[in-house]
Chains A and B, each alone.
Chain A
Amino acid sequence: MRPEEGTIQSRARAIGAVLELLTDQPVIICNGFPSREAFKLADRPTHFYMIGSMGVAPAIGLGVALSKPAKKVVVLDGDGNVLMGMGTLATVGALKPKNFLHVVLDNEVYGSTGNQPTFSRVVRLEQVAKAAGYVHVERVREREDLVYELKEMLAKDGPSMLLVKVTEQAEDVDRVPLDPREITRRFMKAIA
């Protein structure tokens, strides 16, 4: 089915589907609702929750991927985040870490600040990634397409980007209650 025709799902539902397919992979989750929703859905020590520094989730993931080449590193990102740190698509595309998987939850708005529209409505971020040198890129809506493509990308060498169109709906979730220093410590231990 073409992505434009599929039924769109909420971001939390998409995050849930992604986390169900992951086991012990390091996961970098961008600031804002994605971290808060992921924490509520399934907290794992392999999760690195960001609370600030918008736009650099893939840069953190890249640092982990380069220093841990045997582990597939997953970055859960948002459209506003990718637009803010768009240069990193070039860095990832040029360095081509095989173990880098970039999942972009694209709701076309800045959800944490009142749903102001982002440019992802008109700019196809997965095509930017493709042009920058990502090896595999896909754009999906349906949950079953998300599951199929993510399984493929987990098995294949990257760098890959899976862009998932999601609704603006945000879950009623609190901030991540962990101390940032503790997030670092337990993440390092879990991926060592």
Chain B
Amino acid sequence: MIESEDFVESLQDIGFDFFTGVPDSNLGGIIATLMERRLYTPAVREDEAVAMAAGAYMGGKIPAVLMQNSGLGTCLNTLLSLNLIYQQPCLLIVSWRGFQGMDAPEHLVMGQTMTQLLDAVRIPHRTLSEQTAVDDLKWTGETFMKQRIPLALLLKKGVVRGIQP
């Protein structure tokens, strides 16, 4: 399991310096670390969060947005009609709820179709794992800088340490 401090540290090393989003239980450890480091600006909805990231990017920041995958539905239009077409990149750190059907009913459809949805709207994505973490983060930095569009790092439960055991 990746420690949330190490995960945040790696993102900061790449240059990420503006974090916003809407919490998910799987992201609790990361958000706690970000708040300790005074790097996190809470948002009330995911569309607001990706728009805030767009503004921060234009103000010189390197932004990341944390959310549960249900939030992808909420912010889809903003991602497509703002961040994507205006070339305002942000890293989406998305908790993969409903992975392999092991979750509450409201997460199952998105859990099953999320990667197809991301493919359909041409948002590059990669699933973080402890074994490939170095490569995953390298890909994150390179894709952000090269393509200048939103990209997603998908986090399954237990890959990065949460706040609950």
Tell me whether A184 is interfacial, beta carbon within 8 Å: yes
Question: How close is B125's CB to chain A, nearest CB, in angstroms?
Answer: 21
The answer to whether A63 and B44 have CB atoms under 8 Å apart is no
The answer to whether B41 and A66 have CB atoms under 8 Å apart is yes
Chain B, 91-122, contact with A by CB distance < 8 Å: what is the 0/1 string?
00000000000000000000000000000000
The answer to whether A60 and B55 have CB atoms under 8 Å apart is yes
Bound CA span A191–B18, Å: 18
Question: How close is A187's CB to chain B, nearest CB, in angstroms?
Answer: 6
Which interface class (under 10, 10 to 19, 20 to 34, 35 or more) fits A?
20 to 34
Tell me whether B51 is interfacial, beta carbon within 8 Å: yes
Knowing A66-B41, A95-B41, A181-B87 are in contact, say whether A28-B48 is a contact too (CB < 8 A).
no
- Number of chain B residues close to chain A: CB under 8 A: 30
The answer to whether B82 and A63 have CB atoms under 8 Å apart is no
Chain A, 47-88, contact with B by CB distance < 8 Å: what is the 0/1 string?
010111101100111111111100000000000000001011
The answer to whether B44 and A192 have CB atoms under 8 Å apart is no
The answer to whether A53 and B44 have CB atoms under 8 Å apart is no
Partner of A91, one of B44, B63, B81, B87: B44
Tell me whether B60 is interfacial, beta carbon within 8 Å: yes
Q: Which residues in A have their C-beta under 8 angstroms from that of B47? A: 53, 55-56, 59, 85
Knowing A56-B51, A59-B51 are in contact, say whether A66-B85 is a contact too (CB < 8 A).
no
The answer to whether A64 and B51 have CB atoms under 8 Å apart is no
Tell me whether B88 is interfacial, beta carbon within 8 Å: yes
Q: Which residues in A have their C-beta under 8 angstroms from that of B78? A: 53, 56
Tell me whether B27 is interfacial, beta carbon within 8 Å: no
Knowing A50-B82, A52-B85, A181-B86 are in contact, say whether A66-B56 is a contact too (CB < 8 A).
yes
Bound CA span A60–B55, Å: 4
Q: Which residues in A have their C-beta under 8 angstroms from that of B154? A: none
The answer to whether A64 and B45 have CB atoms under 8 Å apart is no
The answer to whether A184 and B48 have CB atoms under 8 Å apart is no
The answer to whether A53 and B59 have CB atoms under 8 Å apart is no
Chain A, 153-192, contact with B by CB distance < 8 Å: what is the 0/1 string?
0000000000000000000000000001101100110011
Residues in chain B within 8 A of chain A (CB atoms): 18, 41-45, 47-49, 51-61, 63, 77-78, 80-82, 85-88
